[in-house]
Structure formats: structure tokens, C-alpha cells
Amino acid sequence: MALDPGDAGGWNNSGGILISRGEPEAAAPMYEKACEHNPAYNMAYSNRLMCEQYLPGVSEERLLELSSIWQARYAPAGKAAFHASRKPPDDGRLRLGFVSRDLKRAPVGYFLVGLFEALRGEAVSVVVYSDAEGPDDLTERMRQAASHWRETRPLSDEQLLSVVRDDAIDVLFDLAGHTKANRLPVFARRAAPIQVTWAGYVGTTGLDAMDFVLADRFQVPVASERFYRERVLRMPHGYVCYEPPFYAPEVATLPALREGRITFGAFHNVAKIGAPSIAAWARVMARVPESRIVLRYTNLDEPGAKQRMLRSFASAGIAEERIMVEGTSSHVDMLSRYNDIDIALDSMPYSGGLTTCEALWMGVPVVTLPGGTFAGRHSLSHLSNAGYPEWVATDLEDYVRIVANLARDFDGLATLRADLRRQMAASPLCDASRFAKDFLQLLRATAR
């Protein structure tokens, strides 16, 4: 940036570094500078939109405003129309297309693999357009379940558009939104007659050509519909279905019984651990004497990020010896660490999605305070569908109260821990068969 202040890539990458250090407020102007120096840099603008999701005070109004700017700047002029490359096959099967770079052991992968496998034997064709790098065993499971699998990472947006149209897809799913390496320009050109954004992003894309957003009543309440360019399709239970990893360790006995004190856990993306989260967690720790908290995420072993966490807790009156900051580890080691956690604390304003599912699977209750955006309501949806709405707070004082009540009852926590995985496995949150039936019923009614 010093050598070439006008280089948009430098400003964009600076924003990425700041996000990875947990500083979204500082990252936002970096992305704005990138767009200023290169107005055609649509990915930098998508990064700016994603950054906004982490900021204190984020609102649905502001997200719609920023998303609409993407539409105005980067979508093709005029209303996108569908142009078929070939006649659809005459077999009566609904052809579903899925575009993603995350069909592997990543949040989107964990939320789709069960659906793909449950759709086998149904009167549908599943066509996958995979931009994934580093495929793994979950990728292979999805590949085996799909009717057709296209490796599309080498393709330009224009080439992918042609491939999708030639496949005569009925309903095309965007599984990235404004996240890294997205394919929104393909959707903006109208690759399929019906286009749906789902699972990979956290709100409206801002695209006129995106017909629907797939959600549930928790993620997008009726009052929020006006903040979406897309029409809202609501699943009857949760908007995703969780597939636990086969290598998840067995749930251990309650740590508090051996430690004699409560250990909280917050295994969130560093960008979610901003001022609102730390202020709430500090209040919880002040209410629960001698408690400790484990913060764990990949980038937390970066010295700058770790020191920011410790300083923020110290400013809120929580001594450093009560804070354990841990970084990079394997997935199985991270899941094992939950065997040292009594209660998980959700983040705000951006709530835990996969993080909440993993904590619950490891027998750890999660307490959440839902926010005012799609990103702020993940845990509300997951907890409600898992059967634990009592862990959903109405305000910050209620959040602290719920945690404190759980923390003072070691026996109750131990009983809960022993049964939580079984309860979750039997709930709609993990029922892929039920999810697939609801999913198809909703799509058939929409595509009719």
C-alpha cells in the first residue's frame, strides 16, 4: 500500500487482515478504499457487505441499503431474463442446481450433506457446481449422492453461466452470497428460471434476479421481509439440517464437578468477538464468581488478536488469569475441548451457526441473545428447533440471568449434559429425512 496507494488489491487485503484480527470496524474503510480505487471490484464490495454483518449497531435497513448498491453497480443493465440453452429433459424430474465453494468440511458442507443423501431416490436430479479447493471425505459423500457433479473452479463466470443454462436447471441455489469467491455475477445474469440464495450467507443478496431466500420463521420473521429484495421461502422447522462429524468425541462428565467452578466457552470466529460480545461475557463472569472462559479459534494464536481480547476483558474488570485464549487446532481437538466447557456463550451481534450446533452435540448448553439481523438469529433457530427455547434471552440482563441460573446448578447441568446429544439427534435440527421432505414440498409448490 505504501508503494502503490492506489492499488485496490492492497486495500482489500488489508481489510481481510483486520477482519482476521477481529477488527471489523477498522476493516470497513479498507474495503471502501478498495472500491474507491477500483469501482469495478465487485468482490471487494462483497467483502464490505460481509464486514458490515459484524459491526455493533448493524441493522437490516443498512444491510438492504448496501446490498442494493451492489445491484446498481455490478449487475447487468436492465432486468435479467432467463434464456435456456437447451430443452429440459422430458422425465418429469425437478432439476436442482447448487453452486458453492464450500462443499466440504465447512459450515455449508455440514448443512447440505444430509439433504443430498436424503434426496437420493426422490424424483429430483441434484446437479452440483463445485468451486471447492481441497475436497475431503465430506465432498466425496456429496459427490456420491449427487446426480451430476461439475468441477467449476477453473471456469469464468461467463463459462459457468453457459454450463448451468445448458443443464436446464429448474431451481438454482446460491450457497455463497457475498462471501469469498462467490458467483453472484452468474445469478445476476439469470442462469435459471428460479434462483434461491441459501445457507452460505446471512441475509439479502440485493439482486433483482435472486427470486427467493430460503429461511425459517426464526431467521426471517414476517416483520423483516421488507428488508429483502428476495421473497422469503420458509421451512417449517429450521432452515438448515446439521450433520455431526463421525469423529466427534464422546461427551465427558461435567467439568465443573471436577473443577469446582464453571468454565465458559466461546469458540467463535474472531470477527464475532467484538465489544458487544466481550461486554456481555464480562457481565456473565462478574455474576458467576471464580468462573473462567476459553476463547478458541484459528486466528486467536495471532499475538495482536490475543492481546486485544485480554485488554478488552481487563477493561471490563475481568482478570487475565480467568481468560484462556487458544488458537489453531484440528477439528477433532476443538470438539474435544468442549469436554472442558460447562456452558457456551453465544456471540453478538453475529450469532453462532455451526458453532452452536457443535457445542450442543458435545453436550454443552448455549445461551443466546438474538440480534436484529439474519446473522444475529442463527442460535435462536437452532436452539428452538433442538427443543431448548429457554436458553434464548430477551435482553442482556435476561442473558446474564439464564447463564447464572444454569451455572449455579451443577447437578442439573450434569443431567442435561448426559442427555443433550440424544435429544438433539432426535430433533428436527438433525433429521435429514424430514428436512428433505419439507424441502421438496416447498420447492415443488414454488416451481409449480
Greatest Cα-to-Cα distance within the chain, rounded to the nearest angstrom: 68
Contact between 131 and 181 under an 8 Å Cβ cutoff? The reply is yes
Cell reading at 13? 487485503
**How many CB atoms neighbour CB 72 within 10 A?**
8
Nearest to 129 by CA among 76, 186, 72, 88: 186
- Give start-end residues of each CATH 3.40.50.2000 domain in the chain: 255-429
Contact between 24 and 17 under an 8 Å Cβ cutoff? The reply is no
- Give start-end residues of each CATH 3.40.50.11380 domain in the chain: 94-241+431-447
The yes or no reply on domain 255-429 and CATH 3.30.365.10 is: no
For the stretch 222-234, pLDDT in tens is: 999 999 999 999 9
Nearest to 262 by CA among 361, 406, 417, 402: 406
Number of residues that this document lists for the chain: 448
pLDDT string in tens for the chain (448-residue length): 899 999 999 999 999 999 998 899 999 999 999 999 999 999 999 999 999 999 999 999 999 999 999 999 999 876 677 877 777 776 779 999 999 999 999 999 999 999 999 999 899 999 999 999 989 999 999 999 999 999 999 999 999 999 999 999 999 999 999 999 999 999 999 999 999 999 999 999 999 999 999 999 999 999 999 999 999 999 999 999 999 999 999 999 999 999 999 999 999 999 999 999 999 999 999 999 999 999 999 889 888 888 999 999 999 999 999 999 999 899 999 999 999 999 999 999 999 999 999 999 999 999 999 999 999 999 999 999 999 999 999 999 999 999 999 999 999 999 999 999 999 999 999 999 999 999 999 999 998 7
CA distance linking residue 296 with residue 255, whole number of Å: 17
pTM, entire model:
0.96
Using CB atoms within 10 Å of the CB of residue 87, give its burial: 0 to 12 exposed, 13 to 18 middle, 19+ buried: exposed
The yes or no reply on domain 94-241+431-447 and CATH 3.40.50.11380 is: yes
For the stretch 390-401, pLDDT in tens is: 999 999 999 999
Cell reading at 201? 450467507
